[in-house]
């Protein structure tokens, strides 16, 4: 578990204002954003594990995923997001972390994905064991599944110090009405949802609601499950990419997401070490301002 002070000590805090462009820096610092509930800073790019870490018992793949995590931490990364829904991913994370040894950089985020309070408790205990964590940094309710039953446990566990933050997730634009209601009425510290340069529905209501109600926001599917990176790879980078220190489309897509003022971090998933290094580089250098964000949308829509 990474404490607030340890993280704050490692990283320089910065927050993007809607109409500011962060000037390019010769040794750019890592972009971090504050978790509204506490002010703790976390890096604006984390990592997802759906499919990519579901590699079962394959020793070679497990070693390669360990290298991906090492690359992630070496680049300043912290938040790793998983779920019991992701096959062997939680077990593989635990394996990798055992090999890495030093757990300090890790901001552990998993989910409860089952029905009933009792099964939820059992599943969360199992996740602790698989990751080798005594206290998750963040426990989220996956896809709103039986959220009323799990919320009670999450509140109790937080009060007991067994987890640090609570959260709730959705994706693919599902159940936004219900999530909006939950965001206003329930005490979740984090919300996780889908937002990318093509799927921008969250801009209308959920992102402003999260900001107004002091919720941290995690963005899943920043590459639309790889569809956007694959589609854009056929096109040269626009001239403005260099203004925001991007050398690849993946960085353009990530900077678009993490420069939204309500977004705390994005969690792209990758099975490749070079892609991990590339993605973490999006956490550094100049960021798009509001005007450039509009231009990015318009230009990419024509491709
Ligand atoms: N309801 C929920 O709670 C929910 C739902 C969806 C997702 N999530 C979380 O969000 C995470 C991210 O979403 P996602 O995995 O669906 O999709 P994503 O991160 O948008 O896309 C992943 C795909 O992008 C490719 N990619 C990654 N970096 C790249 C790069 N630099 N250049 C080119 N391609 C790149 C990966 O391929 P390579 O392996 O080849 O790099 C992979 O196929 C998940 O892993 C999961 O942790 C949560």
* Domains, the chain, ordered by start: 2-8+35-301 (3.20.20.100)
Q: How far is the CA of 52 from the centre of ligand 1 (A)?
A: 8
| Residues within a 6 A CB radius of ligand 1 | 48-50, 52, 81, 142-143, 169-171, 192, 220-226, 229, 250, 267-272, 275, 278-279
What pLDDT is attached to residue 25? 52
pLDDT of residue 17: 33
pLDDT of residue 57: 98
**Atom 4 (ligand 1): residue with closest C-alpha?**
171
According to DSSP, the β-strands at 41-43 and 32-34 are antiparallel
Mutation pick for ligand 1 pocket among 92, 223, 231, 250 (CB with most ligand atoms within 8 Å): 223
Ligand 1 center from residue 49 Cα (angstroms)? 8
What confidence score (pLDDT) does residue 15 get?
Answer: 35
The order of strands in the sheet holding 47-48 is: 47-48, 79-81, 107-112, 136-141, 163-169, 190-194, 216-220, 265-266
Which mean pLDDT values do the consecutive 10-residue runs of the chain (303 residues) have? 37 35 61 98 98 98 98 97 98 98 94 98 98 97 97 98 97 90 96 98 97 98 98 97 98 98 98 98 97 98 95
- Ligand 1 nearest atom to the CA of residue 222, by list position: 20
Which pTM does this prediction carry? 0.92
Centroid of ligand 1 to alpha carbon of 220 (angstroms): 7
Q: Which residues contact 4 (CB under 8 A, 6 or more apart)?
A: 38, 39, 40, 41
Instruction: Give the strand pairing for 216-220 and 47-48.
Output: unpaired
């Amino acid at each position: 578990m990474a404490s607030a002070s340890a993280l704050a000590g490692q990283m320089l805090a910065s927050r993007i204002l809607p109409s500011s462009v962060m000037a390019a820096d010769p040794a750019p610092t890592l972009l971090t954003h504050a978790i509204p509930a506490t002010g703790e800073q976390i890096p604006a790019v984390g990592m997802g594990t759906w499919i990519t870490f579901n590699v079962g018992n394959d020793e070679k793949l497990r070693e390669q995923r360990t290298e991906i995590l090492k690359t992630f931490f070496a680049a300043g990364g912290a938040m790793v997001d998983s779920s019991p829904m992701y096959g062997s991913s939680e077990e593989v994370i635990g394996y990798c972390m055992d090999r890495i040894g030093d757990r300090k950089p890790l901001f552990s985020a998993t989910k409860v994905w089952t029905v009933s309070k009792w099964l939820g408790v059992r599943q969360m205990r199992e996740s602790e064991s698989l990751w080798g964590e005594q206290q998750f940094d963040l426990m989220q309710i996956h896809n709103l599944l039986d959220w009323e039953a799990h919320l009670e446990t999450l509140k109790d566990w937080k009060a007991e110090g067994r987890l640090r933050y609570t959260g709730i997730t959705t994706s693919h634009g599902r159940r936004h009405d219900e999530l909006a209601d939950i965001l206003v009425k329930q005490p979740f510290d984090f919300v996780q949802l889908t937002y990318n340069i093509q799927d921008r529905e969250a801009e209308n209501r959920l992102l402003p609601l999260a900001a107004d109600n002091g919720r941290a926001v995690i963005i899943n599917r920043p590459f639309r499950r790889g569809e956007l990176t694959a589609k854009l790879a056929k096109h040269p980078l626009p001239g403005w990419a260099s203004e925001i220190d991007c050398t690849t489309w993946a960085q353009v897509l990530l900077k678009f997401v993490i420069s939204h003022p309500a977004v705390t971090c994005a969690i792209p998933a990758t099975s490749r070490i070079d892609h991990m290094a590339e993605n973490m580089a999006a956490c550094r250098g100049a960021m798009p301002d509001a005007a450039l964000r509009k231009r990015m949308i318009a230009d990419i829509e024509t491709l």
